[in-house]
């Protein structure tokens, strides 16, 4: 087996395990949901079947035990309980550990696997399985399988794999062997589609099979053999030996009986039937319909067939799996192309060649479309990240003796893949803090006239070129007085410092800050929120904290949609260039020397009847030179208010490829990165919120 096929199996297995975890969490809330039960069973069956095919025999054997239990759940003979969910989640973690061990070369812990299997068997045998299945309540919409009462049933199975099935690493022969082990089985191979040797594709599958199987396992068991290749084959399973038949079934056509007995081949039957006159010709001859009506019906038939085939072909090719490193390489190349395109546009603008200018405009248009399409490939719904935290909330609330329910909103909100990957750890810390510090124990909540079960709500929504992610709990809320006292004790603020409530709440983000009375396995060391702040800062994001005592706390993360390419506004101060994120810019207005003198150094501008405070970036960044007679104010929206930034000249919109700053410059407040202009000049990208905070801090010193 090639490394390519093994890697494909591992990737699929990891995806199935992620889906399995979310399915189990949903199943615990809806234990009678047959669709969820089926999803869990199919995930286990696929992991087992593919594992055996690709040489992961330990995973296949271990997963078989869990699959067996959920097969009984499907049949209605096993109840879905919290105990069963607990053990299955442990089994899911063990399968992932086995996959990880196969990558690192380390041996998996067999003792733990045996312990989980023993716990599962004991759980199933001791209370969740009834000796008489009929005495158990059967989940909704589940019918008891009558196959055992009927005895063996004979099936005709027609299995026609797709021509490309070998390219997925699938071998049909083990499936046929699995059918042989289910009962009396006869396999007939059809090789008439195999081409001549010089035309054959060695990686193509030209064989299909008819299987006659007599078994008492039931139709579902037969179909489950093919469950993980259903999308890669044509499969028909028919019962051909029924005890209870309708009148139509009991009187089979002569040709069908001759074929089933082996006295006549299908080819001979079709040849004989081909000599018969077609139904359309007979109907026209009888005068029931005319030729044009027949032609119309045939045209409709052909159209429907072609439309169905086209739709099926489109559905089959809707998605394609691409390694993330290739996607990252594509984004990097597009970023370089954007820089080159800017250089071309700049060169053409300074040239009198109309042909060159036309080419530059066309390249700019195509580059913009390519950039937008490439960036959209990296956008993923954040719901996949949200679903991972259900397990965290479940396990942590049980550990801390809390009753917590997690709800979500805006799961379809899309965010750059890189941002989502770096967002996992901060969200873990915030959720853990909400459960440990926010949600009270059930008895305390009842005493406060609150529901015993607390709620943590995760939501996401777009806000311009940003995404707002909120983590809200209905717990005890933050105690501003306690936080202030702790901050004074640790020397973070002066005892007489005047701080707004939001500023006090933000103190919990300081390194080493904690209000926990004791250190636990969850919190108390004062490192969690510091980790959150550093991670969000690295994403060029901000954290806003709001809380109401006794009602709960809301943490809102404001994050950029992407970390690669943004639309920016290029400005000039002296000989230096800066980039404003265009999503934050509301408008640009002129500032004359006379208007500047009117404010008497107060840095206030009158814009259509409104007073807008402004900051001179020339002074802020200590840029030498004299100011031009007419300056420009770039007005941005920040937390519901307008702030102006004075620059010498607004150059215009600019597609900005974000480059990270070196370690020496990473801690400079107000600068989030840099970009390279068409002529090779470096322009710094402004971080508006942090720049404003830095200016405010300087003003109070």
> What span, in angstroms and rounded, lies between the C-alpha atoms of 658 and 170?
43
Nearest-CA neighbor of 30 among 134, 141, 111?
Answer: 141
| Domain 147-244 classification at class level | alpha beta
How far apart are alpha carbons 270 and 266 in whole angstroms? 6
Average pLDDT rounded to a whole number, residues 462-479: 87
Give the helix/strand (H/E) hosting 286: helix 279-286
pLDDT at site 648: 93
Torsion (CA) 41, 44, 46, 48 in degrees, nearest 10:
-140
CB neighbours (10 Å) of residue 258?
A: 15
Beta bridge partners of 676: 682
Report the C-alpha gap between 545 and 553 in whole angstroms. 7
In the chain, the percentage of residues whose pLDDT exceeds 90 is 11
Residue 633 has pLDDT above 80, yes or no: yes
Cβ neighbors of 521 (< 8 A, separation 6 or more) are 399
Type and span of the H or E element at 519? none
Compute the distance between CA of residue 516 and CA of residue 509 in angstroms, rounded to an integer. Answer: 14
370 compared with 304, residue with greater pLDDT: 370
Residue 32: which pLDDT band, with cuts at 50, 70 and 90? confident
Question: For residue 575, which of 490, 488, 681 has the smallest C-alpha distance?
Answer: 681
Residue linked to tokens 């059930």: 442
List, for residues 333-385, the tens digit of each pLDDT value: 988 898 888 889 888 888 888 899 999 999 989 998 998 888 888 888 888 88
Three-state secondary-structure class, residue 398: helix
pLDDT band at 600 (very low <50, low <70, confident <90, very high): low
Contact, 590 vs 553, CB < 8 A?
no
Architecture category of domain 380-560 in CATH: 2-Layer Sandwich (3.30)
Q: Is the pLDDT of residue 314 over 70?
A: no
| Residues 6 or more apart whose Cβ sits within 8 Å of residue 169 | 1, 5, 8, 9, 53, 54
Instruction: Work out the average pLDDT over 2-9.
Output: 72
pLDDT of residue 313: 57
Parse the chain into domains and list their residue ranges.
3-135, 147-244, 279-314, 324-378, 380-560, 565-700
On the question of pLDDT at 219 being above 70, the answer is yes
Top-confidence residue, 520 or 41:
41
Neighbours of 314 (CB within 10 A): 9
Q: What is the pLDDT of residue 509?
A: 84
Query: Ranked by mean pLDDT, which of 56-70, 439-453, 504-518 comes out on top?
Result: 439-453
- Residue keyed to tokens 């830095």: 694
Nearest Cα neighbor of 544 from 488, 437, 468 is: 468
Read off the pLDDT band of 569 (50, 70, 90). Answer: very high
Average pLDDT over every residue of 583-595: 86
- Asked if pLDDT for residue 33 goes beyond 70, the answer is yes
Lowest mean pLDDT segment, chosen from 261-275, 329-343, 472-486: 261-275
Comparing 78-92, 260-274, 614-628, the range with the smallest average pLDDT is: 260-274
Burial level of 693, CB count in 10 A (0-12/13-18/19+)? middle
For residues 684-697, give the mean pLDDT: 83
Nearest to 211 by CA among 173, 157, 260: 157
Q: Assign 38 a pLDDT band (cuts: 50, 70, 90).
A: confident
87: CB partners within 8 A, 6+ apart:
116, 119, 120, 123
Is the distance from CB of 599 to CB of 611 less than 8 angstroms? no
What 3-state class would DSSP assign to 650?
strand
Quick check: helix, strand or coil at residue 188?
A: strand
List pLDDT tens digits, range 226-242.
Answer: 887 888 888 888 887 65
Mean pLDDT confidence for 533-542: 82
Tell me the pLDDT of the chain averaged across its residues. 80
pLDDT of residue 137 exceeding 50: no
The stretch 241-258 carries a mean pLDDT of: 50
Q: Which of 75, 73, 93, 71 is nearest to 28 (CA)?
A: 73
More confident residue, 139 or 35: 35
Place of tokens 């794999």: 161
Backbone angles phi, psi at 468, to 5 degrees: -100, 120
**pLDDT recorded at residue 526:** 46
Task: State whether the Cα torsion 6-7-12-15 is positive or negative.
Answer: positive
CATH fold of the domain at 324-378: Helix Hairpins (1.10.287)
Determine the topology of domain 565-700 in CATH: SH3 type barrels. (2.30.30)
Asked if the model's pLDDT at residue 2 lies above 60, the reply is: no
Lowest mean pLDDT among 13-27, 98-112, 249-263, 645-659: 249-263
Mean pLDDT of 251-255: 55
On whether the CB atoms of residues 69 and 120 are closer than 8 A, the answer is yes
* Residue 276 pLDDT class (50, 70, 90 cuts): low
Q: What is the CATH number of domain 3-135?
A: 1.20.120.160
Q: Where are the alpha helices (DSSP H) in 317-441?
A: 324-349, 354-377, 383-400, 417-433
CB atoms under 10 Å from CB of 252, counted, come to 14
Contacts of 273 (CB under 8 A, 6+ apart): 255
Q: Categorise residue 410: left if φ over 0, alpha if ψ from -120 to 50, beta otherwise.
A: left
pLDDT at position 540 over 90: no
pLDDT at 632: 92
Query: What pLDDT band is residue 542 in, cutting at 50, 70 and 90?
Result: confident
**Cα 414–chain centre separation:** 9
Which residue in this structure is represented by tokens 């044009």? 292
**For residue 457, what pLDDT band results from cuts at 50, 70 and 90?**
very high
pLDDT value at 138 more than 50: no
Q: Say yes or no to pLDDT of 64 above 60.
A: yes
Look at 256 and 656; give whichever has higher pLDDT. 656
| pLDDT at residue 132 is higher than 70 | no
Asked if 385 contacts 422 with a C-beta cutoff of 8 angstroms, the reply is: no
- Residues 6 or more apart in contact with residue 121 via CB below 8 angstroms: 65
């Amino acid at each position: 087996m090639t490394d390519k096929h093994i890697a494909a199996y591992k990737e699929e297995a990891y995806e199935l395990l992620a889906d399995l975890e979310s399915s189990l969490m949903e199943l615990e809330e809806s234990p009678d949901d047959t669709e969820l039960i089926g999803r869990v069973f199919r995930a286990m069956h696929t992991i087992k079947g593919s594992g055996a095919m690709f040489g992961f025999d330990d995973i296949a054997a271990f997963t078989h035990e869990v699959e067996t239990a959920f097969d009984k759940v499907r049949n209605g003979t096993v109840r879905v309980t919290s105990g069963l969910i607990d053990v299955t989640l442990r089994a899911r973690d063990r399968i992932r550990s086995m996959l990880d061990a196969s990558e690192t070369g380390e041996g998996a812990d067999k003792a733990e696997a045996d312990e989980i299997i023993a716990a599962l068997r004991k759980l199933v045998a001791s209370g969740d399985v009834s000796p008489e299945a009929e005495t158990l309540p059967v989940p909704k919409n589940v019918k008891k399988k009558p196959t055992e009462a009927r005895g063996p049933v004979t099936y005709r199975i027609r299995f026609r794999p797709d021509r490309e099935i070998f390219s997925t690493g699938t071998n049909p022969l083990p499936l046929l062997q699995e059918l042989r082990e289910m009962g009396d089985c006869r396999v007939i191979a059809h090789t008439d589609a195999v081409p001549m040797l010089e035309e054959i594709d060695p990686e193509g599958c030209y064989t299909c099979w008819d299987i006659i199987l007599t078994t008492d396992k039931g139709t579902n068991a037969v179909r489950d053999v093919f469950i993980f290749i259903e999308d890669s084959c044509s499969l028909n399973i028919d019962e051909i030996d029924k005890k209870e038949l309708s009148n139509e079934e009991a009187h089979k056509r002569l040709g069908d009986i001759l074929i089933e007995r082996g006295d006549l081949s299908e080819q001979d039957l079709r040849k004989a039937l081909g000599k018969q006159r077609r139904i359309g010709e007979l109907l026209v001859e009888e005068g029931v319909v005319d030729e044009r009506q027949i032609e119309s019906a045939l045209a409709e038939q052909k159209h429907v067939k072609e439309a169905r085939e086209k739709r099926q072909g489109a559905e089959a090719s809707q998605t394609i799996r691409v390694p993330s490193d290739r996607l990252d390489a594509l984004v990097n190349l597009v970023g370089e192309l954007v820089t080159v395109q800017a250089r071309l546009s700049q060169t053409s603008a300074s040239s009198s060649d109309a042909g060159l200018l036309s080419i530059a405009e066309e390249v700019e248009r195509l580059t913009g479309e390519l950039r937008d399409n490439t960036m959209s490939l990296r956008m993923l719904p954040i719901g996949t990240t949200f679903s991972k935290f259900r397990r965290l909330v479940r396990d942590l609330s049980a550990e801390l003796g809390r009753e917590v329910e997690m709800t979500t909103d805006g799961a379809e909100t899309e965010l750059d893949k890189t941002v989502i990957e770096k967002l996992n750890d901060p969200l873990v810390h915030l959720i853990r803090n909400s459960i440990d510090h926010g949600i009270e124990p059930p008895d305390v909540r009842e005493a406060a006239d609150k529901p015993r079960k607390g709620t943590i709500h995760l939501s996401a929504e777009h806000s311009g070129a940003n995404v707002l992610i909120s983590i809200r709990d209905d717990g005890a809320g933050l105690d501003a007085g306690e936080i202030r006292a702790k901050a004074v004790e640790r020397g973070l603020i002066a005892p007489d410092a005047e701080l707004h409530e939001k500023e006090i709440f933000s103190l919990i983000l300081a390194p080493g800050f904690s209000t926990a009375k004791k250190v636990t396995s969850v919190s108390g060391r004062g490192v969690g929120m510091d980790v959150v702040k550093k991670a969000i800062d690295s994403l060029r994001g901000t954290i806003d904290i709001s809380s109401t005592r006794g009602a709960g706390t809301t943490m809102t993360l404001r994050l950029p949609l992407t970390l690669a390419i943004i639309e920016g506004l290029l400005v000039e101060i002296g000989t230096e260039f800066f980039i404003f994120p265009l999503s934050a810019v509301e408008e640009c207005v002129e500032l004359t020397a006379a208007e500047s003198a009117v404010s008497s150094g107060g840095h206030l501008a009158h814009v259509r009847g409104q007073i807008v405070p402004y900051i001179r970036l020339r002074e802020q960044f200590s840029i030498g030179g004299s100011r031009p007679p007419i300056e420009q104010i770039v007005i941005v929206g920040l937390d519901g208010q307008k702030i102006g930034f004075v620059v010498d000249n607004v150059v215009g919109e600019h597609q900005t490829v974000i480059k990270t700053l070196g370690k020496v410059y990473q801690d400079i407040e107000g600068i989030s990165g840099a970009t390279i202009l068409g002529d090779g000049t470096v322009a710094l990208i402004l971080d508006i919120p942090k720049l404003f905070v830095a200016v405010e801090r300087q003003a109070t010193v």
